[in-house]
């Protein structure tokens, strides 16, 4: 790993730790003013069946969309059939595990450019003017709220 990759990885982990700790301390109450950060990366989630971290074999990849101090969102091909999950941020064995609950689901169109647009919304989800392209894939944007950090 190059020094630049190592520094980027360290910055990523610091960001996740700060956001999760802020959520645990109640520093970021649910509010529209909570600062969203674009978080377009593949991370892993697993359904939460009980306390603790699910087995690594239960995790699957999702495309994340954004991240705040109180939660994150990711894309699925259809509505989730679960309410509680564990998110693993970063690669094992250095993953940060966080319990989360689904708070909302929105139908969206994902364009080949990466643009995510809410269905029925005349403006793009990421801001700006509506898209005229027809290269979109229907998906569901799943918004989750952090519950607590899980140790491993």
Closest CA to 54 of 100, 97, 103, 91: 97
**Has domain 3-150 been given CATH number 2.40.10.220?**
yes
Distance CA(47)–CA(50), nearest Å, equals: 9
Query: Is residue 18 classed as helix, strand or coil in its secondary structure?
Result: helix
Q: Which residue has the higher pLDDT, 74 or 4?
A: 74
Instruction: For the beta carbon of residue 24, count every other beta carbon within 10 angstroms.
Output: 14
pLDDT at 54: 95
Question: Which pair of structure tokens corresponds to residue 69?
Answer: 């101090």
pLDDT at 29: 44
Q: What is the pLDDT of residues 81-105, one digit of tens each?
A: 999 999 999 888 888 999 999 999 9
Task: Cis check for the bond before 93: say yes or no (omega within 30 of 0).
Answer: yes
User: Locate tokens 């139908």: which residue?
Assistant: 107
Question: Which pair of structure tokens corresponds to residue 79?
Answer: 């509505």
Instruction: For the beta carbon of residue 81, count every other beta carbon within 10 angstroms.
Output: 7
pLDDT at 52 over 50: yes
pLDDT at 114: 86
């Amino acid at each position: 790993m190059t020094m630049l990759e190592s520094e980027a990885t360290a910055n990523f982990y610091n960001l996740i730790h700060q956001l999760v700790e802020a959520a645990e301390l109640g520093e970021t109450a649910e509010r529209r003013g909570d600062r969203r950060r674009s978080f377009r990366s593949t991370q892993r989630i697993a359904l939460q069946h009980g306390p603790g971290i699910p087995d690594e074999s239960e995790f699957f990849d999702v495309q994340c969309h954004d991240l705040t101090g109180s939660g994150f969102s990711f894309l699925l091909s259809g509505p989730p059939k679960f309410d509680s999950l564990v998110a693993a941020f970063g690669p094992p064995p250095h993953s940060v595990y966080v319990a989360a609950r689904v708070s909302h689901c929105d139908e969206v169109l994902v364009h080949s450019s990466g643009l995510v647009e809410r269905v029925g919304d005349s403006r793009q989800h990421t801001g700006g003017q509506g898209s005229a392209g027809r290269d979109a894939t229907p998906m569901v944007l799943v918004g989750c709220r952090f519950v607590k950090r899980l140790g491993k």
